[in-house]
Structure 1
């Protein structure tokens, strides 16, 4: 899949777990100053690893605060859970954060990262119907046109076309939703998997009548490539991946690895 040449971008997911909020706020400010391209959290209600009863914070309210405190970095959830909020409400919340993040420039920085949901404890503890994978994906497919339509009706409207990032790699439903709606597709794929998924994404694009080469390819940086040579990242980049996101957990959020990834980004973009 070939498309427009994009610069390499680096994202950092500050996982909102096992940390006091002051630590999250301070690291977000540091990442903004360092030149990270996108700052993510995630949309869960409990830690995903470590102590399951450890400290944890809610995604959207945090994103609004980070939008106010930062100046240049884009921000969003990796990813929002479609099941937890009415589609029209999601659109309004996204527009509001987009407007908050536009202070000083008039151009918002919010990225609408979304997915169908998967963490059953969230559903059980907060009273949502878990259903099946297929039902949750169908709900996401139904919600996205509603969200996009609501953005056209809000006053004031978003400051820009809010980019839609969709996370997930299911070949029958998820990638079809990506082909129809996403500006960014995020997965945790190794090279052979990515090659296969891109071919399937292309098939879905032809089926829905959309040029999927315009979708930015995003990869989560697993430990296997985060703390060693950049050979794997180089290979993913050669396959078309341009957004690489490092996940950091509390309590301390060690940013040392981020410096290495930013240097790699700058080297790639200088070529």
Structure 2
């Protein structure tokens, strides 16, 4: 499989996931500012209640309230969670929060919020905060149920969102997740390696054909952490245009971010 003409026409973008763990908020805030100044395209955090690496009881902050603060702090970069957990909040509330951050980020223009979402997986979050964990299947069923409610609520809010809020969905399950992606997502994110990605894209294209969705309308996103430039080039050749890079506290390493920004600029210049 090679990239579609629509994918080839998209610029390469770099999103940085600033893990909200093991660092004071002031450090996270300053890191976000430095990343915007450096020219990253998207700032992400994640929607968990505890660290995912290092000390499991270390410093950690909540996703949505942080995104609202980052929306006010920044002026150019897009932002969102990689990804929101659908289980933790009522669907209509999620829609309203997303719309509100969209307006906070607009600064008199068009909003910059990306609604990244998924079905959830980290059992400790559920157990300690009192949410029913269920099964992987039940959580995916809930996501499929709730996304139409979220989209419907966006059409009812006053004021409405400043734009059609892009929906990013993470995950690679072929029977449920990729069908949900085909139905609702503007961006599909995965951690798939090159052979797996090629296979999954074929499955996603099949689902798009079945439901009547333009496969080329979905932007493909993948993770750069621990990838080589050669692998990134192969992912790009398959149609990946959004590349994410996770960094974690207590000391957020921006040197690797600058390296990948240079790679992005080189690719975009060559395509111009």
Work out whether the TM-score is over 0.5: yes
Aligned to 1:92: 96
The correspondence for 1:193, drawn from 196, 208, 215, is 196
Aligned to 1:249: 248
The correspondence for 2:83, drawn from 79, 90, 99, is 79
Q: CA deviation at 1:222?
A: 2.6
Rounded Cα–Cα distance in structure 2 between residues aligned with 1:3 and 1:189:
22
Q: CA deviation at 1:139?
A: 0.2
Q: Does 1:270 align with 2:269?
A: yes
Aligned to 2:154: 151
Q: CA deviation at 1:3?
A: 4.1
Q: CA RMSD, aligned part only?
A: 0.7
Rounded Cα–Cα distance in structure 1 between residues aligned with 2:244 and 2:237:
17
Aligned to 1:37: 41
Unaligned runs of 5+ in 2: none
The correspondence for 2:16, drawn from 12, 17, 23, is 12
Q: Name the count of aligned residue pairs.
A: 266
Aligned to 1:235: 234
Rounded Cα–Cα distance in structure 1 between residues aligned with 2:5 and 2:137:
31
Q: CA deviation at 1:156?
A: 0.5
Which consecutive segments of 4 or more residues in structure 1 shift more than 6 A?
A: none
Indicate if the aligned counterparts of 1:3 and 1:214 stay in contact, CA closer than 8 A: no
Q: CA deviation at 1:123?
A: 0.3
The correspondence for 1:221, drawn from 207, 220, 224, is 224
Q: Does 1:212 align with 2:211?
A: no
Write the deviation string for residues 189-244 of structure 1: whole angstroms up to 9, x where unpaired.
11100000000001111111101111000001232x1xxx4100000000000000
Q: Secondary structure at the match of 2:243?
A: strand
Write the deviation string for residues 10-54 of structure 1: whole angstroms up to 9, x where unpaired.
000000000000000000001111110000000000000110000
Q: Secondary structure at the match of 2:102?
A: helix
**What is the TM-score when the length of structure 2 is the normalising length?**
0.97
Aligned to 2:74: 70
Write the deviation string for residues 116-163 of structure 1: whole angstroms up to 9, x where unpaired.
000000000000000010000000001100000100000011000000
Unaligned runs of 5+ in 1: none
The correspondence for 1:52, drawn from 47, 56, 59, is 56
Q: Secondary structure at the match of 1:166?
A: strand
The correspondence for 1:140, drawn from 139, 143, 146, is 143
The correspondence for 1:130, drawn from 97, 118, 133, is 133
Aligned to 1:173: 176
Rounded Cα–Cα distance in structure 1 between residues aligned with 2:71 and 2:5:
31
Rounded Cα–Cα distance in structure 1 between residues aligned with 2:95 and 2:215:
23
